[in-house]
Structure 1
């Protein structure tokens, strides 16, 4: 019996020694407190963590090791825990801070385990300094932020490069469009040159042949009784020369317009007298029994470009006479209303087909029913540009076989 007791005693001693060695050599801080929160045992690791000497913490409240700002709240937590003690970790939802003897703080991880003895209830705390882990977490967080910043910077650079590429593509497209427009303009210019050569060769060849024919015939009429025949051919030559002059004037005017040599220079003059003189000059272009009927209403004094207006009216009235039959009068009406000059030229000629009206102001365009009537297709285009130079508007209405009406509105 004694031998068994001795064996049990030795076994218990070994267990106590082993527990003591474990307590002393543990790599975690171990602190044992009683139910009142007083420290009963502290292992060397815990003393080193908190900076205390051996035995210095015994009998002190556990709150000694907690930052002052958390001490009161910790007392409440400790008392609540004592009501229902169980093994658990602390600080799952927040960071725990511990306080050293020098009042410096460090992050910790704590686990609690309650136990009871014949002397009463105790709680053992296992404490780990997680300062290095926190540093690593901070380093990882900073690295993560750095990566986020790098990603954001990269995205910005990619976005910037994308915008630059889009701008470059847009500029390239604009350059392409400009090249296409230049090529189209060049093509149109070549077409215009072709049309010009075709029209000029036709318009000049016919009048020149007429002049040559009439000049040859005049030489045959040597007797005085043949004077009427001579005068007839002289008149044909004069009329043909006038036609050639009109054609040349159209080409010259177009060239000056394209080069920007023509300017709008308004002057004050008497419109009624101006139009009366012009109507008298245009009698030579009228056909037999054809007259220009002129009416003016309102103040006669206007302020517009006299030269441009004369060219416009001569062109429009000449057209009206050219495309109207013998005995068909042309009507010119002018009216000054406030600061606006309204002009209407109306004829009773062959008119213009409805489908051709939208194109009458285009360069080289001639209506389908113009037939053999001489013309370059430039007159109305030049008129349109002159009216634009004078900051005015022009409108044309026409009905086939009934006549044409051209309306001008000019600021005075």
Structure 2
């Protein structure tokens, strides 16, 4: 029995010596603490890592090796760990910092292993200084950042060159469009000149012949009892001159619109008074027993370009009178609210066919049923452009032989 005891004692001594040698020569720092957090064992590598002499750390709290800003929190973590101790690695979700004797800090990796003896519960900590790895990671991150910056710079340069190319192409396209617009405008001007010559030769010839004929006949009626005949021809001359003036005004207005000489200049005025004065002026264009019936709703004052609105009303009411028979009234209705003016002009004239209605605002367009009624085909086109200048809207409803209704909406 004594021999067996001696052999066991020698084996245990060898194991202790081997553990002691391993503890002393380990390349990792090893620190053993008790359940109160006091340091019981420190191997040479740990002393070297933390800058302490042999024996200096024994009996001190493990928080001695923790930076001050984390020490209080570490006490809570240690106490929680003591409730359910188990082998684990620390710092999985964040970097761990340790504190040397000279108060300097360095990054570490720590793994914990709990064990128990007859003296009580203990925890052994294995500590590795990862400063070199961190510096390499930092260098790698910096290299990646520089590469990323280079890539970003390269991408920005590529994007800049792409934008410059896109601008150049856009400018080229704009130049092309400007040339095309200039050519189209020149074509339109040539078309307008051609149509003007055609219309002028047709529209002017008949009125001038009428004026010449009436002027010649007036000279023959020298007797006082022939005064009625003279006045008849005088009225014919006046009416014909008015038609010629209307044609010339259309061409002049169109020219000013094309050159951008007409501007929208809103002013405040009383709309019902304006409409009644205008209706008095237009009595001369109305046929026998033909009247303009006017009604207004809402506020009286509006803020609109008075000159443009007058031209629009004159054109639309004149058209209504021109294309309506004798004794058929024209209806003008206006309604003003806080944001807009609504206008409705209605006649009971010859109307416009469904096929012609989409083109009524086109330049030089005349409906197929206009017959011998004089006109240039410019009036409604000019009205449309005036409404656009005033930032309004115009639309038309019509049926053959039932009449036409024009709706205007203008901001006030």
- The normalised TM-score by structure 2 is 0.59
Could you give the per-residue CA deviations for residues 166-221 of structure 1, whole angstroms, max 9, x where no partner exists? 87666555544443333222212111110111112222221111111100001110
Map of 1:152-301 to 2, 5 A cutoff? 172=172, 175-301=175-301
Give 3-state SS (helix, strand or coil) of 2:401's partner: coil
CA distance in structure 1 between the partners assigned to 2:158 and 2:405 by the alignment: 63
Give ranges in structure 1 of 5+ residues lacking alignment.
1-68, 70-155
Stretches of 4+ aligned residues off by more than 6 angstroms = 156-170
Q: 1:145 aligns to what?
A: none
Distance (Å, rounded) in 2 between the aligned partners of 1:302 and 1:173: 43
- In 2, Cα distance between equivalents of 1:164 and 1:270: 55
Q: Secondary structure at the match of 1:363?
A: coil
CA distance, structure 2, for counterparts of residue 240 and residue 402 of structure 1? 28
Cα separation, partners in 2 of 1:239 and 1:168, compared to 1, 3 Å: same
How big is the shift at 1:157? 11
SS of match in other structure, 1:404: strand
Distance (whole Å) between structure 2 residues aligned to residue 300 and residue 221 of structure 1: 51
Secondary structure of the equivalent of 2:356? helix
Instruction: State how far apart, in whole Å, the 2-side matches of 1:393 and 1:366 are.
Output: 21
> Secondary structure of 1:236's partner?
helix
Deviation at 1:339, TM superposition (A): 2.6
**Helix, strand or coil: the match of 1:353?**
coil
Q: Structure 1's 163 and 295: CA in aligned 2 closer, same or farther, altered over 3 A?
A: closer
Q: Cα deviation per residue 1:40-91 (whole Å; 9 max; x = unaligned)? A: xxxxxxxxxxxxxxxxxxxxxxxxxxxxx9xxxxxxxxxxxxxxxxxxxxxx
CA distance in 2, matches of 1:307, 1:176: 37
2:337 corresponding residue in structure 1: 337
**Residue of structure 2 equivalent to 1:79:** none
Structure 1 residues 256 and 170, CA, compared in 2 at 3 Å: closer, same or farther? closer
Task: Write out per-residue CA displacement over residues 211-265 of structure 1, whole angstroms, 9 at most, x where no aligned residue.
Answer: 1110000111011111111111011011111111111111111111122221222
CA RMSD of aligned residues (A): 2.9
Q: 1:158 to 1:279 in 2, by over 3 A?
A: closer
Corresponding residue for residue 405 of structure 1: 405
SS in 2 for 1:395: strand
User: Residues 370-385 of structure 1 correspond to what in structure 2 (within 5 A)?
Assistant: 370-385=370-385
Match of 2:311 in 1: 311
Structure 2 segments unaligned to the other structure (5+ residues): 1-26, 28-155
Q: 1:225 to 1:342 in 2, by over 3 A?
A: same
Which structure is larger by alpha-carbon Rg, 1 or 2? 1
Pair 158,327 (structure 1): closer, same or farther in 2 beyond 3 Å: closer
> SS at 1:361's partner residue?
coil
Alignment of 1:14-163 (within 5 A): none
CA distance 1:387–1:159, change in 2 (3 Å):
closer
How many correspondences in the alignment?
266
Q: Quick one: distance in 1 between partners of 2:338 and 2:225?
A: 60
Q: Quick one: structure 1 residues 229 and 167, their matched pair in 2 at CA, closer, same or farther if it must change by over 3 Å?
A: same
Deviations 1:351-370 (A, max 9, x none): 11112111111111111111
Q: Which residue of 1 aligns with 2:9?
A: none
In 2: Cα distance, 1:266 partner to 1:366 partner? 31
